[in-house]
Amino acid sequence: MSNKFSIPIRVYIEDTDAGGIVYYVNYLKYLERSRTEFMRSLGYNKPAMPEQGRLLVVHSAEIQYRRSALLDDVLQVSTTVDKLGRAAMTFGQEIWRGNEIICTAVVKVACVDTSDRKPCALSTSIYQALKATNQYECR
C-alpha cells in the first residue's frame, strides 16, 4: 500500500465537552474532512457532483475509539482507499495524536444517482484517479 493521505486538525473548544474531551461525533467530522481533502488532492473539489448526476454518500461507518482527544491537541487524520469497486469504495481511516493512535474507522462510500438516489457507477475519471493511488484492493 502506498503512503497514506493525512491532514492535521487542531481540537478547538467547540469540539469538546465541559471536561475538554472531544465529543464522539466530532471524530466523524474529522474523518469526513480527511476524505474530502483526499478527494480534493486528486482534483475533485466536491464530494457532490450534481453536474455529472452523481453524489458520493456514506453508506456505512465502523469506528473504534481507543483514546480521547483533548482540547488543543493536534491530530493527524489519515485516509487510504482499502477497496475500490465500480459503484463504491471503502476507506480505512486513522486519527493519531503524536505516536498514539486514538481512533480507527472503516467508512464505505457509495456513488448514487442524483435523481433517484440509487447506486450508480463512479465516473470513469474518479475511478481511474482512485485506482492510480495504488492503495486499494480490487473486489
Q: Report the catalytic residues.
A: 17
Sign (positive or negative) of CA dihedral 8, 58, 91, 93: positive
**Is 85 strand, coil or helix?**
coil
- CB-based contact 106:62 (threshold 8 Å): yes
Q: In the 8-state DSSP scheme, what is residue 23?
A: P
C-alpha 136/C-alpha 8 separation (Å) is 23
C-alpha 123/C-alpha 71 separation (Å) is 40
C-alpha 113/C-alpha 50 separation (Å) is 9
C-alpha 94/C-alpha 125 separation (Å) is 26
